[in-house]
Amino acid sequence: MDNTESSTAGTPTSWCHPAHRVHRFFALLLMCFLCFGSYFCYDTPGALADNFKGDSHLNTSQFALLYSIYSWPNVVLCFIGGYLIDRYFGVRLGTVIYMSILFTGAMLFALGVYINKFWLMILGRFVFGIGGESLQVAVNNYVVLWFKGKELNMVFGLQLSFSRFGSTVNFWVMEPIYHWVGNYYGGYERLGVTLFIASMTCLGSLLCGLILGFMDHRAEKILERSEQHSNEPPFRMLDILNFKTVYWLLTIICVAYYVAIFPFIALGKLFFERKFDFNPQEANTVNSMVYLLSAALSPFFGILIDKTGRNVMWVILSIITTIGSHFLLAFTFVNPYVGVMSLGVSYSLLASGLWPLVAMIVPESQLGTAYGICQAVQNLGLATVLILAGVVVDKFGYLMLEMFFLGCLFIALIAAVLIYIVDSANSGVLNLSPQEREALKTATIQTDERANLLDHESSDPDEEARPSEDERDSVLTQSDRIRSRYISHILPNTNIPDRP
């Protein structure tokens, strides 16, 4: 047996082995680029907001609908997408299917702009949305599957970093590409060709999904993942009713926090042009700072949270600083870079601390559905707020919109504080340090072992009969099953070995 097929119990020496750090790093790189095309194309309207109004003659409400329609299908389909991954598709097939839908939607949207048909633009963004959020659920499953354990916060942060880098690059390059295409096309055709070029990033992400699927299929065989989970009961839809209160509070944060981020960025270019008298390129630059800082800082925040733990504390801190950022942008004329950079730092910190909490609360067989529900309720909020935001800006201006954002953030803050209270009252692990979690895990194992020994100790000290080997194996198996089931409700599993 060569090194690539060696047991996971030892330290793999070949980079071809799925447990080797080089192999896992390459898998992580593919996971990062899976969402690059999605995030790049999601914000193409925001980067070309003036051009959509000038070439396609859209008002603010119609423009906001291009973002809102992306979210509406995911109010239901994102949850269904996660359920399909858990029950039928599996993460590999699901990723390829959702990525293909995403690419189709991007092409339809570009075609709608090219022929200047608003209904086709809406259809394209609708299809794009069906694939986009379901793809994110699949990627979250991939991340947990390969990195669940000590590295999870860092990996979530790095994956978010690359995704947001796609949005950052979009804000940087779309205006120059638009001007270059202007040498050959004019009017709305010029805008459509620009979007066709942008959609090629989704094709690149699809290729990454195919390669990652092959790697995961190979890793499943070598690491015997399917055997490890063969005894787990299949997920049933009614299991949702057993999700903990803390999980539903997390979904509230997903809605209340993100509606103060994404709608702001979608309309941010016009906000900076009107309030601070920036030209279009300057407005795009400052608007992209949220994503740029997220791309740069998310991995480091992930490592910080991996080392310190205290996820809930970091989430609360990030919400408070986000409130301060919106306050500066709404009520002062301080250089907007200050407020936007603070917003980017806060957003990166929250994402690195929030999303790994789901994997600590929900069993692995239900993760696809759990992440899908989070994405679904988040998209319900985004779809509603984006439509409302366009109307509010047209009728009342940006100050009233900022007031609404601040109200949503206070709701998120209340939910985060409640998570801290509920988790602490139930002796939870969400806000413990890694050392405290490890100590709790060790104490739980030792306590369970002592209980098993007492339960199976013979009541007759003079009895000479001893249990057979098969009986001892049965007792040990039952003991391991009880202990594993109990610990799985306290700490995330570490099915993939830690880095050598």
At 342-379, the pLDDT tens digits run 998 998 888 888 877 887 887 766 776 777 778 778 87
> Residue 36 and residue 147: Cα distance in Å, rounded?
20
Separation in Å, CA 266 to CA 50, 145, 168, 320, 336: 12, 32, 13, 22, 16
Q: Which of 11-25, 341-355, 384-398, 404-418 has the lowest mean pLDDT?
A: 11-25
Q: Which of 43-52, 86-95, 323-332 has the lowest mean pLDDT?
A: 86-95
* DSSP-assigned states of every residue in 315-351: HHHHHHHHHHHHHHHHH--S-HHHHHHHHHHHHHHHH
Cβ of 419: how many Cβ atoms within 10 Å? 27
> Residue 240 and residue 22: Cα distance in Å, rounded?
37
pLDDT band at 226; cut points 50, 70, 90 = low
Distance of CA 72 to the CA centre of its chain: 18
pLDDT tens per residue, range 252-263: 998 899 989 888
Tokens in use for 47? 């980067």
pLDDT tens per residue, range 114-138: 998 889 999 999 989 888 777 877 8
| Owner of token pair 């929030």 | 354
The dihedral region occupied by 310, where left means phi > 0, alpha psi between -120 and 50, and beta the remainder, is left
pLDDT tens per residue, range 289-342: 887 887 778 778 877 887 888 888 999 999 999 999 999 998 988 899 999 999
pTM of the model: 0.62
Separation in Å, CA 369 to CA 18, 363, 364: 26, 10, 10
pLDDT band at 151; cut points 50, 70, 90 = low
Taking the alpha carbons at both ends of the chain, their separation in whole angstroms is 20
CA angle at 25 for the pair 21 and 31, rounded to the nearest 5°? 145
Contact between 369 and 83 under an 8 Å Cβ cutoff? The reply is yes
What is the predicted pLDDT for the residue at 486? Answer: 37
**Could you give all domains of the chain from N- to C-terminal order, each with its CATH number?**
32-222 (1.20.1250.20), 243-438 (1.20.1250.20)
Of all residues in the chain, the percent with pLDDT exceeding 70 is 75
> Residue 121 and residue 105: Cα distance in Å, rounded?
9
What is the predicted pLDDT for the residue at 494? Answer: 36
What does the pLDDT average to over 16-23? 71
What is the predicted pLDDT for the residue at 479? Answer: 42
CA angle at 12 for the pair 10 and 13, rounded to the nearest 5°? 130
What does the pLDDT average to over 394-422? 90
Q: Which of 106-115, 184-193, 214-223, 471-480 has the lowest mean pLDDT?
A: 471-480
